[in-house]
């Protein structure tokens, strides 16, 4: 024989499956049709429930079933606070209707606890929702600050170029991309000629201006896809994707010509700028480190041979 609790539980589960609110009319209809064995039609038509009495244990189980239903309903919706707020009054009416069918006075008190639980759930969810929104905003702000900090860590503060730390990530990605696609990749190591003389003659402020001047000219000559790195004190590394050694040599010769024709004017004095450079193209046996080393050796050789020139690394 089916108990009143089982009928109530079946009615509540059916309401949850159909997404209907637990109004007294809906609950009574599904309760009645659960007892008759017929499938309920999801139309909120008021039907008088059959007379019955409920024991204390059955009422407690019924209260637990209502509580589980409220939890399932909250979980099924995307916005807990809004959903509970909309159905709180309907749940209140349902519990009142159920309480009328219970003969023992204390059971009404037990069932009224459902209302308190629902109200508490609503307040808790609303507070949690506000706190989650605040936490999400703080996390988003933290992400922005971390990204800015990371960019600052990878950037040379004087010239605005990538620094050595940024170069490691950038060059590693370009080497991997060249390996996958079979595209050419070249790098150039530049070193400003007689930079110490500039510092000794004009001061370190003039030396800083020379570095910024060189960085600006280099960026204006290179393509958007190329990367300029401040490798050391007066050393710059150029990463040239999709560029073979001939294309790299053409680009460096053009850069050298522009630099020679664009001296720095510092405090009314003309400061000539020149550089020596070494070029290397990625080989099958290269990695990021060996590619830079070969370009660096070619640059040192260019300096040894008289400066203000570009040499290609031996293959």
Out of 71, 234, 267, 314, which one is annotated catalytic? 234
Residues 308 and 168 placed together within one structural domain of the fold: yes
- The domain of 76 spans 4-133
Residues 81 and 198 placed together within one structural domain of the fold: no
146 in any annotated domain: no
* DSSP string over 158-211: TT-SB-HHHHHHHHHHHHHHHHHH---EEEEEEEETTHHHHHHHH-HHHHHHHH
CA distance 115 to 121: 10
Residues 105 and 197 placed together within one structural domain of the fold: no
147 in any annotated domain: no
Residues 101 and 199 placed together within one structural domain of the fold: no
SS (H, E, C) 281-310: ECCCCCCHHHHHHHHHHHHHHHHHCCCCCE
Residues 186 and 307 placed together within one structural domain of the fold: yes
Q: Are 313 and 203 in contact (CB under 8 A)?
A: no
Residues 175 and 295 placed together within one structural domain of the fold: yes
Q: Which two tokens stand for residue 258?
A: 């522009």
pLDDT in tens, 112-150: 555 565 666 666 666 666 766 776 776 677 666 666 666
Residues 79 and 35 placed together within one structural domain of the fold: yes
Residues 47 and 99 placed together within one structural domain of the fold: yes
86 in any annotated domain: yes
Residues 300 and 188 placed together within one structural domain of the fold: yes
- What rounded mean pLDDT belongs to the chain? 75
CA distance 99 to 69: 17
Residues 73 and 29 placed together within one structural domain of the fold: yes
pLDDT in tens, 258-304: 999 999 999 999 999 999 999 999 999 999 999 999 999 999 999 99
The DSSP secondary-structure symbol of 155 reads B
Known catalytic membership, residue 145? no
Which helix (H) or strand (E) is 236 found in, with range? strand 235-241
Residues 191 and 253 placed together within one structural domain of the fold: yes
Confidence (pTM): 0.55
Higher pLDDT, 71 or 263: 263
């Amino acid at each position: 024989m089916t108990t009143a609790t089982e009928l109530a539980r079946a009615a509540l589960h059916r309401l949850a499956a159909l997404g209907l609110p637990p109004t007294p009319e809906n609950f009574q209809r599904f309760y009645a049709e659960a007892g008759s064995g017929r499938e309920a039609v999801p139309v909120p038509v008021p039907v008088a429930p059959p007379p019955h009495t409920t024991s204390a244990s059955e009422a407690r189980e019924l209260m637990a079933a209502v509580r589980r239903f409220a939890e399932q309903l909250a979980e099924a919706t995307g916005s807990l606070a809004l959903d509970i707020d909309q159905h709180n009054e309907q749940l209140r009416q349902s519990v009142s209707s159920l309480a009328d069918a219970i003969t023992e006075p204390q059971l009404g008190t037990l069932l009224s606890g459902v209302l308190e639980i629902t109200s508490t759930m609503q307040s808790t969810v609303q507070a949690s929702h506000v706190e989650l929104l605040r936490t999400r905003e703080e996390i988003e702000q933290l992400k922005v600050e971390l990204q800015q900090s990371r960019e600052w860590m990878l950037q040379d503060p004087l010239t605005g170029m990538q620094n050595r730390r940024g170069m490691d990530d950038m060059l590693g990605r370009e080497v991997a991309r060249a390996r996958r696609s079979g595209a050419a990749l070249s790098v150039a190591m530049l070193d400003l000629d007689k930079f110490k003389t500039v510092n000794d003659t004009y001061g370190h402020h003039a030396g800083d201006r020379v570095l910024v001047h060189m960085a600006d000219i280099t960026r204006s000559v290179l393509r958007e896809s190329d990367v300029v790195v401040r490798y050391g004190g007066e050393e710059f590394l150029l990463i040239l994707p999709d560029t073979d050694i001939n294309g790299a040599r053409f680009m460096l010769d053009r850069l050298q010509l522009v630099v020679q024709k664009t001296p720095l004017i510092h405090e009314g004095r003309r400061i000539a700028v020149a550089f020596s450079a070494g070029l290397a193209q990625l080989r099958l046996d290269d990695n990021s480190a060996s590619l830079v080393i070969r370009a660096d050796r070619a640059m040192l050789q260019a300096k040894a041979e008289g400066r203000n020139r570009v040499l290609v690394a031996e293959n």
